[in-house]
Each structure stands twice: as structure tokens, then as C-alpha cells.
Amino acid sequence: MKLVLTESALASSSSAVMFPTLSSHRQFFECRRCFSLRTLARTIKCGIAEPSGEPAPMGQKTKYKDTLFDKAFMSLFASKMGNITGTSGKINGYEDFVDVSREVMKGRSPSQQKDAVRRVLLSILPPGAPATFRKLFPPTKWSAEFNAAITVPFFYWLVGPSELMEVEVNGVKQKSGVHIKKCRSEYPNY
């Protein structure tokens, strides 16, 4: 599975979530000498509990060992989804998280599902965060690459192991693609 973050996708999304850790592009690139997102991605590993450390072959369920960080994010998102669905949102692992996610889809059209997910994401952020993020990170190649780089280490708990990849957007090559090696959700009809 591939996820490609582009400038136009960032510009068209009123709920695009970006992470402001540096105040300018120049600071980011100057700082790369002492810290790189690739280093961070190698440091924060997906909690695969397979002996090889790699996902199980396609068709076989991969075993994960969720960290406290993983469980905290799952609980936070499940709780917020529970507010949308009117359920408790209490979970005991990833499978329960997927079940709560399914509740968000039940009886809703695709546009209603999108709106529900948007409300969940906005409920997690502090007030004014989306507008601030859009000002700090206007839709540029750099923003798309930065978001892709953040996705790899910080969203493995949701999607499973992934890696950055180079893609071509409007004739320009950029590292804003995210290749999900094997989706964590291996449930049929999901």
C-alpha cells in the first residue's frame, strides 16, 4: 500500500495535520547534520514480535508487541471515536481499536465517515492548532516530505511497518511517499 503526500493534497485538506517542531525550513535543513528523521525512524521501530523482526508473510497474521506509547495512542483515538459513535470506546488491544473504528463506519456514507474522522482528529488537537499548522507549514514539497517522514516513525502503531519512498509529483521527484510494507489491519472486509 502506498500513501503519497503532495502539496495539493495538503492544500485541499482543511484538516491536514502537520507537526510544527521547527520554525522554518532553513532551520530544519541546518539541523539535519545533528539530527535526521531517518535516524529517528530507525530508532522508533514498529513493535513486531516476530522472531525475524519482519512482518509475517502475506496471508499470515503478524504478531505485534505494543508499547505503552502505542497503547496510549490507541486508547486516546478509541475514546474520541467512542464519543462520535456513542459507545464506550474502551479497548484492550489493536483488535478492539479496529472494532471501534468499524463503529465509526456503520450506517454512515463515505462523506459522513470522513466528517466523523475529521471530528475525531480535531478533538485531539488543541484549539487553533490546524490554522497554526497551516501557517507554519504551507503546502510545499518540503511540507509533504516532512509529513511523510513523520508518518513513518509515529504512525506504525496504526498502519504497521512502513518506509519513505521517492515519488514523482507534477514531474518533480520528492520523498513524500510512504510505502506500508504490510498493513497492520489484516481483517477481511475492512
Q: What is the pLDDT of residues 126-154, one digit of tens each?
A: 999 999 988 988 989 999 999 999 999 88
Q: Is residue 157 part of a domain?
A: yes
Are residues 145 and 175 in contact, defined by beta-carbon separation less than 8 angstroms? yes
Cα separation, 77 vs 79, in Å, equals: 5
The pLDDT of residue 187 is 55
- Report field, pTM of the whole predicted structure over 0.75: no
Establish if 186 belongs to a structural domain. no
What is the extent of the structural domain holding 136? 2-180
Does any domain span residue 189?
no
Q: Please state, rounded to an integer, the average pLDDT across all residues of the chain.
A: 77
In a domain, 190, yes or no: no
> What is the pLDDT, as a whole number, of residue 13?
42
Q: Into how many domains does the chain fold?
A: 1
Q: Is residue 104 part of a domain?
A: yes
CA distances (Å), 33 to each of 39, 62, 140, 145, in order? 11, 36, 22, 17
Q: What is the pLDDT of residues 61-105, one digit of tens each?
A: 888 888 898 999 999 999 999 999 988 888 998 989 989 999 999
Residue 188 lies in a domain: no
